[in-house]
Structure 1
Amino acid sequence: MALSKFQTLKNQLIIIVLIALLLPSAAMLYDIYYASKTDDVLIAEAEKKLEQITSFVSNNIYNQINNEEMVYSNEELVGIFNLVAESLANGNYPGVRLCLYVTETNQIYIQGYLHEFGDRLSEEKKERDQRIYDEAKEGIAAVQASGTFITRLGNTWDDQFLEHLVPIKVNNQIVAVLWAEERMHPIFAKGKHVRLFVRYVVFTVFGLGVCFTLLTITNMVNRIRSIKNGLIQLEYNLNYQLPELPGEMGQISGAINKMARGLAEKEQEIEHYKRQEDLMAMGRLTTEIAHELRAPVSIIQATAEAMEASSRDATDIKDYINRIEQQVDRHNKLIQELLEFGRPNPGAVEMLDLNELIDVIMSYVRPLLEKNDILLNYTNTSTESLYIDGNADKLKQVFINLIVNAIEAMQPKGKLTIQIRAEDDQAVITVQDTGKGIPQEDLQNIFEPFYTRKAGGNGLGLAISKRIIQIHSGSIEVESKAYSGSVFTVRLPVQKEYNKTRAAAAR
């Protein structure tokens, strides 16, 4: 029976493993999603704070320039920035760095520190300005290009900071870029790095686990397939040995090999007992043959003694002679049937048209059918001639025997159905009667020699018929139910190549 794709062991194991791996993966993805949401909340709070600072500084710059109605200059712009930013960085917002980049001079001005300790506090001013500009130049360029504010999360090799950059415009021209930045808490940066590292590790382990699991499943399935193929071989040859396998599969294959050796030994014992049974059957057969041969001889002997003791009347002698001739004919017929049963040679073989052969047989049996008032239903569903290699006389003997047995099994007004059909590379001939049928306990024995329930029968007819059909590389089967009639089915191989040759020659 074919298995669906979900019933195979390999697919079932893969589904189980995927389900087992899916649960921790889903939990990990949920953690990643939740952690990213937490980060977003922290960044949003810091961004709001930086927006307020940059808004305050920029508003002070715009207010002082407009209130004094003075001509704009870079020095005044820087002075206002330093005044406002210094108080914020050193007073209300320690840990926040305020920076101003002047577009015309390409210089940067800084107020406040992000780091309260470390090597960066000892940097020279020029080095510090250059480092901060390098960290912020991408954001500065983005503000100059877009003309509006941006917020960005900056990274260094060991740090993370949040920047909020806004343009300073005079007469709709960007004259400077102001920004405030705050260092993200070290735990934030380290936590993010740790989470990222853990994700990479988990996904790597996950991938290796999947690969290892699939490899293990594949190896196990291959071993199971090896055992399955070995079992198929053992079905035909018990001496076949399954290959040695590691682990528990090896224990299973070893147990199967041990069982196969035991079965092979049992088979040898059975074969030995079968030979013994055959010898016993031969002895019984010899006894039955002797019994069958002794009966007509006894009658002949008794008849001869009666002739000797009786009168010399010619009429009596003629009657005795007829009896002797009948028993001699019976004796010769029995011997001939025994020879037929034991002779494996079918005789002269030739190419036969099965349709013509059955037609000839039907012409032989029609008088017998009419005599017993049996209705015949003869059909041939084959659309072409069916050619077989065989001996015409032997095959006639088989089919006449089946038809005669069917007629004898029926009462008058019975119906005999004979059908011929082609089935694959075989010709199928069925002989069906409406007789009393064959009891189930007799079905398995009716083709055995000398087995008969028919009065006056010797039980060799069907046995000889089966032997003839087997010699012709065919088969004969019977189906029957009590009081429902019997169906004998004969199958013979058809010579298709001969049919093609004949058809081509006809064209």
Structure 2
Amino acid sequence: MISKLQSLKNQLVVIVLIALLLPSATMLYDIYYASKSDEVLLAETENKLEQITNLVASEIYNQLDKEGKAYNDEELVRVFKSVAVPLTTSNYPGVRLGLYLTDSAQITIEGYLHEFGERLPEEKHQRDRRIYNEAKEGIAAVQASGTPITRLGNTWDDQFLEHLVPIKTNDQMVAVLWAEERMHPIFAKSKHVRLAVRYVVFTVFGLGVCFTLLTLSNMMNRVRLIKDGLLQLQKNLNNKLPELPGEMGQITRAINKMACGLIEKEQVIEHYKRQEDLLAMGRLTTEIAHELRAPVSIIQATAEAMEVSAKDASEMKDFIDRIGQQVDRHNKLINELLEFGRPNPGVVEVFDLNVLINDVLSYVKPLIEKNNILLDCKNTVTGPLLLDGNADKLKQVFINLIVNAIEAMDNEGKLTIGIQTEGDMAVITIQDTGKGIPQEDLENIFEPFYTRKAKGNGLGLAISKRIIQIHGGSIKVESKADSGSIFTVRLPVQNRHTSPVDNN
């Protein structure tokens, strides 16, 4: 199973995240440290304005208390001007001081935030009204809370910081004093620029993520199409992969081209296979004709000799016996050819394999004793071992295998018959201590007409293999020269066998 880290989709996601990590970290760094620098600048300006307002308020309280005069509007304005004018002209240029009288709503302004000529000229009452409109939110907040406040104000082209404090007498607020200073133009512009840059970066970042996910989705869909197409190609090479754009399309075209090449190769292989089948059929026909011609030639020669040489009934009987033997040989060969060419399971019934093997051993017992063979039966199955099939056909198989083993041992040796089960298969082994089978013959002993016996026709093992295959089983051989052979037959137990093969 493919691990998550090996997934193409996950690999691409990791690469995209790494690629987006650097700009994200840079943006977070800018947001954090830019905010800190703004806070430091505002704190310094706020401390400065707070010192100025405290200084002016102290002077107002000191002078009025020293003179012992009441806190009327005229005196407040006079004292305010006496303190504010030198501060704004000499000590703190660029700082503007203002005094708002709560009873009369009169406003007095000293100092300028902008240098001369930076703005269009305006009348005093227009300037006072404009400044009051800029500061009225802070004045209202001080009147409502009765405590000093600091606020950052905005105009259409500027930003300023102001600090406002109440002026009280007998716990009654009579005026609001404030000091304000214009923030450097770079502060306002950089803030707006940073804000705009953040919006742009986050927008681009979001679009990049969406585009990346969309690209990944399209890529994975194309990969899925290729994967499904390959699965279809496994079933049928004529199923072509769909055309895709880009590099994926190059891959699909290469795969389709490869499939076409495989189809052509399969056609060539099939052509050569048909040629080989025809050659094999020709060889088989030649061998069959040779096998059939031999007994016919003998019959013909015997008949000619009988016609010339037979003198009495005894000689005639001898010639007739010879002809009969060759006719029997001829019929046997024809029957074996028919058995191999049109194998069929015959009558299918349920039988006990143990009983079948015992019957086979009883048939071959005289042959075993005649050749001085020691028989050893090893049956590990307790109780009946039921199979479905044709018992007579399988008896023919085991008789053939046992007779071959006896002939291989040449009048001495040990024959071991083993019966056991492995899962749903019955396993029968026939082992001899004979001369064995040369390695170069092992691959061919089940081929028809392949034999090393002087009197054999090479059909016995081929027919046995076909019968076992019809019963849903298999047969194999293990052998070494001068070390004996082991034939292993596997047959499915009752109700587990495969369907018989086509007999045509």
Report the Cα distance in structure 2 between the residues aligned to 1:461 and 1:446, rounded to whole angstroms.
10
Counterpart residue type for residue 227 of structure 2: K
The CA deviation at 1:364 is: 2.6
Taking only the aligned residue pairs, the percentage that are identical comes to 63
Distance 1:467 1:105, change over 3 A: farther
Distance 2:182 2:239 in 1: 76
Asked whether the equivalents of residues 468 and 474 of structure 2 are also in contact (C-alpha less than 8 Å), the reply is yes
Which residue matches 1:476? Answer: 474
Instruction: Sort the Cα spacing of 1:231 and 1:64 in 2 relative to 1 into closer, same or farther, 3 A.
Output: same
CA distance in 2, matches of 1:225, 1:112: 75
Q: Does 1:430 align with 2:427?
A: yes
Separation (CA, whole Å) in 2 of partners of 1:167 and 1:234: 88
Q: 1:93 to 1:280 in 2, by over 3 A?
A: same
For residue 337 of structure 2, what is the aligned residue in structure 1? 338
In the TM superposition, 1:56-75 aligns within 5 A as 56-64=55-63
Q: Alpha-carbon deviation of 1:65? A: 6.0
Shift of 1:283: 0.9
Q: 1:180 to 1:456 in 2, by over 3 A?
A: farther
| Alignment partner, residue 133 of structure 1 | 136
Q: Say if 1:322 and 1:151 are closer, same or farther in 2 by CA, change over 3 A.
A: farther
Query: Which residue of structure 2 aligns with residue 361 of structure 1?
Result: 356
The Cα of 1:277 is off from its aligned counterpart by: 1.4
**Structure 1 stretches lacking a partner, 5+ long:** 497-507
Q: 1:227 to 1:80 in 2, by over 3 A?
A: same
State the shift of 1:340 in Å.
1.7
Alignment RMSD: 4.5
In structure 2, the gaps of 5 or more residues are 497-504
**Per the alignment, do residues 373 and 319 of structure 1 end up closer, same or farther by CA in structure 2, a change over 3 Å counting?**
farther
SS in 1 for 2:197: helix
TM-score by length of 2: 0.75
CA contact (8 A) 2:444 2:450 kept: yes
CA offsets per residue over residues 204-235 of structure 1, 9 Å max, x none?
A: 22222232233233333333333333333333
1:285 shift after superposition: 0.5
Task: Return closer, same or farther for 1:209/1:380 CA change in 2, 3 Å cut-off.
Answer: farther
Q: Deviation string for 1:139-174 (max 9, x for gaps)? A: 648x928x5x55444445543333345566767787
**1:433/1:386 CA distance change after superposition, 3 Å:** closer
1:160–1:317 CA distance, 2 compared to 1 (3 A): farther
CA contact (8 A) 1:108 1:133 kept: no
Choose 446-455 or 316-325, whichever is displaced more.
Answer: 316-325
Residues matched between the structures, number: 479
- 1:20 alignment partner in structure 2: 19
Q: Please tell me whether the aligned partners of residues 445 and 451 of structure 2 are also in contact (alpha carbons under 8 angstroms).
A: yes
CA shift at 1:268, angstroms? 2.3
Instruction: Return the alpha-carbon distance in structure 2 between the equivalents of residues 120 and 377 of structure 1.
Output: 125
Q: State the secondary structure of the residue aligned to 1:98.
A: strand
Structure 1, 59-68 or 246-255: larger mean CA deviation: 59-68
**Further displaced range: 160-169 or 49-58:** 160-169
Which moved further from structure 2: 479-488 or 240-249?
479-488
1:430 match: secondary structure: strand
- Give the Cα separation in 2 of the matches to 1:485 and 1:48: 108
Give the 3-state SS of the residue equivalent to 1:373 in structure 2. Answer: strand
Q: Partner residue of 1:501?
A: none
- Which aligned pairs between 1:177-326 and structure 2 lie closer than 5 A? 178-298=177-297, 309=309
Cα pair 1:89 1:95 within 8 Å, conserved: yes
Counterpart-to-counterpart distance in 2, 1:469 and 1:101 = 118
TM-score (norm 1): 0.75
Does the Cα contact within 8 Å between 2:431 and 2:487 map onto a contact in 1?
no
Cα gap change, 1:384/1:20 in structure 2, threshold over 3 Å: closer, same or farther?
Answer: farther
Say whether the 8 Å CA contact 1:102–1:175 is kept in structure 2: yes
Deviation per residue, 1:280-308 (Å, 9 max, x gap):
11110111122233344455566667878
Q: Which amino acid is 2:289 matched to?
A: A
Instruction: State the structure with more CA Rg.
Output: 2
1:191 deviation in Å?
1.4
Map 1:478-497; keep pairs closer than 5 Å: 478=476, 480=478, 482=480, 486=486, 488=488, 490=490, 492=492, 495=495
